[in-house]
Structure 1
């Protein structure tokens, strides 16, 4: 009787009534996740100016490619830009060519590859969760990743990270298929899975160098150490896969080497290593240094709104690490996370390739609670994580209300809307947590939290005209 009252009381606090209990068969999850991504990723893509200097430099270098017709050498104004390979510039150039024009200088056209990369990453997370666990877990994990503040921000920027994330997820999907087949006592899966792995590795190298491949290497090493065996890795087809990846990725490096006067591609590679990679490993490059623990702290904001599940779920996953699916997720998450915590140069998006693993762990734990196969989380731990979650929600809602006034913008209905929406978000999720109703807690946090973040970007940040001094400066010198 008490349970019935609790359910009735909790269900009155929900903006999405059946978000996690929709049918997960067939094409419906893909459609629902796609709609969710459209709601979160598209608002503000055209009205939001470049968010940082890197985005502006990526877009300008792509524009110069289109203007000069030189798609090999990457240049920013009159200087070579030898930091990242040309893959992202090719994607941006194709987007601008088909959807806009280089003369229009419309930033949204340069951001389209990032939107597609983020969308593909969400769908691949669903596929990976379905492979490792079940389709309901995959659906929840995809929604958590889509709603995360960091992915929403990266989808709004013309940079490499959202596209790289899609490449990493394709690699990890193929890797997980091989690993789970070995754990089930089956032989290696079809050659298509190995082909997917090596194609994704090659694409990742052309987008951001060896970083994507490093994630898979660390995952394989961690699994081999934990299992005391790595024989299953032979099924990836190294004898033909490595040459294939090299054939796909190396031509550009050879051509850029010729362009820079060094036929063995040392010009670009050595410049990238000496001016970009090594400074990041030795110190905080461009004032971006931070001590270890930085990513754990910033996860509170950038994995929001699903972050309230992170620590309880990680604790359970570690206790159940003998489960092959959870072991794979931990092998993906932990070694790479520790490595990035130890590197002196830190930026929030560096750990984005590990967020899908975190989302899968959280989704598995939440669905286990939802299905009744696991008890509710420790109350003390949940109060701490839930309290931090609520604090971030208040900060986001409060910032959306305060910043327009601070920067001299006119007060409008936006201000009161965000105050009310933030309070509603906190109240609904707190009520669901209090009454131990996981379905409502997830629905309220993901739908309301994700939409709140997207609305902050769309309605508020894009409207802070006093913040975007570059526009006024451009008009002044025009």
Structure 2
């Protein structure tokens, strides 16, 4: 009674979860929410090192050469991921921009669409497993998560893969829930959706999506002691269909790169990408088990305050078919990724929708009064960590520009004020046991805070973008005629190659001097440590070269300060 009295006096209404639950409203509201979170900064944020710039550059080379089978970064084969994401990016650039413009936002459009589709598919999945209110809340949680907002702003595979995984899991859930209800298999369209999503996932990022489906099916079979429902997926025609859709590219790339002698795409991907990740921390990305549980505090923020209480409750209620499906999707794959030595935060993104669905179902149960409020001690621990992340986000956005030589601006006070508002309103709602207000304040305010940090702080943080500024300095010196050949010495980040062009030469200071003196139009971007060698190699031809800019900042991939000197020979 005491809790009900608090809720009654504090809650102005259940508008966040109940108002949009009917008809087309959830799709429209979630779409608007995604636009607010995913679009700010999509054009102003420069290409990110290193993965995004590598993906974008490989796509640009496909457009330049007309070869949409082989994947290359300059003259080096990039045999790590299939070509699916490059095809989507190439289509986006072709229709919305041009390869010569090197506008990174056009390469990011597939990721934005993938993230948006993932949110809507989460709503659809929640509607099948629970109800439309739970689906809407889960979609909002996923949209507002720090990790999805970050992935929507990068021209990589992960947001698109997430949409593929959600499509296949949606079809699996429809089959599973029909079997649990004692109904026959749903229409053939659901099976078709499953196999198309599996094939698309393979072309985007190899077998990862299919692996999640296999783990989900196997876990449900073990838990239920029956797997008869999977017969309705249409294996006799679906598996050949998925194979027919995905296999041709692998055959073509094998013929082009020589898989018959062990040196082509498939063997290279296995030996240089997959196996090193399984055996150790590839590219210094190793971490012990528990890494993803810890980083979830940041990357599933702001809904993370519900994660542990909801998971504990879901485990106790795991006989519920819908919760069992979510746990079968979430737990085995999560454990597997915790055991693999190589770890990056986005590896577990395909499991975040399952986590969001568990949290949403629990929140709706509390809101409806069919479940008690969460254990106070557990909620205070998770709520305290949630508040700490909010303070870190707001504080870092305000402090870092000042620390690296910037000045206090209205951004500083905006982030501080917004973070404090978010914490105060959500803490008040949690104290008064008002689930609706806690969700509304944390998801809307928290998601917007993350998007604003990317848009206003990261994109506007000049010291990070030395590659962009150096490329602009070169372009500003050659406004007429063909673009010059650029030589870079001491700075080899992929973003510089993407912005300066495929023919950019990575060399030493002496090599940069030789390159700029060769031909009629040339430019050199020389890091300060290579400057003596560059000037020495110029010799008595120093007067032919003019320094147009000296750009100081941070090479954030290495965590080091750099100064890039831009020289041109018109």
TM-score (norm 1): 0.96
Given that 1:390 and 1:426 are in contact with CA atoms closer than 8 Å, whether structure 2 keeps it comes out as yes
Offset, 1:199: 0.2
Given that 2:10 and 2:434 are in contact with CA atoms closer than 8 Å, whether structure 1 keeps it comes out as no
Q: Judging changes above 3 Å, is the alpha-carbon distance between structure 1 residues 277 and 15 closer, same or farther for their aligned structure 2 residues?
A: farther
Q: Matches of 1:195 and 1:407 in 2, distance apart?
A: 53
Q: Judging changes above 3 Å, is the alpha-carbon distance between structure 1 residues 229 and 75 closer, same or farther for their aligned structure 2 residues?
A: same
Offset, 1:412: 1.0
Q: Matches of 1:31 and 1:417 in 2, distance apart?
A: 28
Q: Judging changes above 3 Å, is the alpha-carbon distance between structure 1 residues 469 and 213 closer, same or farther for their aligned structure 2 residues?
A: same
Given that 1:124 and 1:169 are in contact with CA atoms closer than 8 Å, whether structure 2 keeps it comes out as yes
Given that 1:258 and 1:264 are in contact with CA atoms closer than 8 Å, whether structure 2 keeps it comes out as no
Given that 2:56 and 2:107 are in contact with CA atoms closer than 8 Å, whether structure 1 keeps it comes out as yes
- Which is bigger in relative contact order (C-alpha 8 A, separation at least 6)? 1
Offset, 1:18: 2.2
Structure holding more strand per residue: 2
Offset, 1:22: 1.2
Given that 1:254 and 1:264 are in contact with CA atoms closer than 8 Å, whether structure 2 keeps it comes out as no
Q: Judging changes above 3 Å, is the alpha-carbon distance between structure 1 residues 269 and 173 closer, same or farther for their aligned structure 2 residues?
A: same
Bigger mean CA deviation after superposition, 349-358 or 265-274: 265-274
Q: Matches of 1:463 and 1:179 in 2, distance apart?
A: 48
Where 1:101 maps in the other structure, the secondary structure is coil
Offset, 1:263: 5.5
Q: Root-mean-square deviation (CA), in Å?
A: 1.9
Q: Matches of 1:13 and 1:430 in 2, distance apart?
A: 13
User: Is residue 23 of structure 2 the alignment partner of residue 18 of structure 1?
Assistant: no
Given that 1:400 and 1:418 are in contact with CA atoms closer than 8 Å, whether structure 2 keeps it comes out as yes
Q: Matches of 2:9 and 2:33 in 1, distance apart?
A: 23
Q: Judging changes above 3 Å, is the alpha-carbon distance between structure 1 residues 23 and 463 closer, same or farther for their aligned structure 2 residues?
A: closer
Q: Judging changes above 3 Å, is the alpha-carbon distance between structure 1 residues 134 and 247 closer, same or farther for their aligned structure 2 residues?
A: same
Given that 2:259 and 2:266 are in contact with CA atoms closer than 8 Å, whether structure 1 keeps it comes out as no
Given that 1:13 and 1:428 are in contact with CA atoms closer than 8 Å, whether structure 2 keeps it comes out as no
Structure holding more helix per residue: 1
Aligned partner of 2:3 among 6, 21, 32: 6
Q: Matches of 1:264 and 1:191 in 2, distance apart?
A: 41
Where 2:259 maps in the other structure, the secondary structure is coil
Q: Matches of 1:472 and 1:50 in 2, distance apart?
A: 12
Query: 1:252-303: CA deviations, max 9, x gaps?
Result: 0011111113359971100000000000000000000000000000000000
Query: 1:402-440: CA deviations, max 9, x gaps?
Result: 011112223211100111110000000000000000000
Q: Matches of 2:420 and 2:2 in 1, distance apart?
A: 24
Given that 2:297 and 2:386 are in contact with CA atoms closer than 8 Å, whether structure 1 keeps it comes out as yes
Given that 1:49 and 1:462 are in contact with CA atoms closer than 8 Å, whether structure 2 keeps it comes out as yes
- State the aligned residue count: 474
Given that 1:138 and 1:360 are in contact with CA atoms closer than 8 Å, whether structure 2 keeps it comes out as yes
Q: Matches of 1:20 and 1:81 in 2, distance apart?
A: 46
Bigger radius of gyration, 1 or 2? 2
Query: 1:220-247: CA deviations, max 9, x gaps?
Result: 0000010011111111111111100010
Q: Structure 2: 5+ residue runs without aligned partners?
A: 475-570
Q: Structure 1: 5+ residue runs without aligned partners?
A: none
* Alignment partner, residue 123 of structure 2: 126
Q: Matches of 2:111 and 2:233 in 1, distance apart?
A: 29
Q: Matches of 2:169 and 2:309 in 1, distance apart?
A: 24
Given that 1:15 and 1:448 are in contact with CA atoms closer than 8 Å, whether structure 2 keeps it comes out as no
Offset, 1:6: 8.1
Q: Judging changes above 3 Å, is the alpha-carbon distance between structure 1 residues 120 and 292 closer, same or farther for their aligned structure 2 residues?
A: same
TM-score (norm 2): 0.81
Offset, 1:15: 11
Query: 1:203-222: CA deviations, max 9, x gaps?
Result: 00000000000000000000
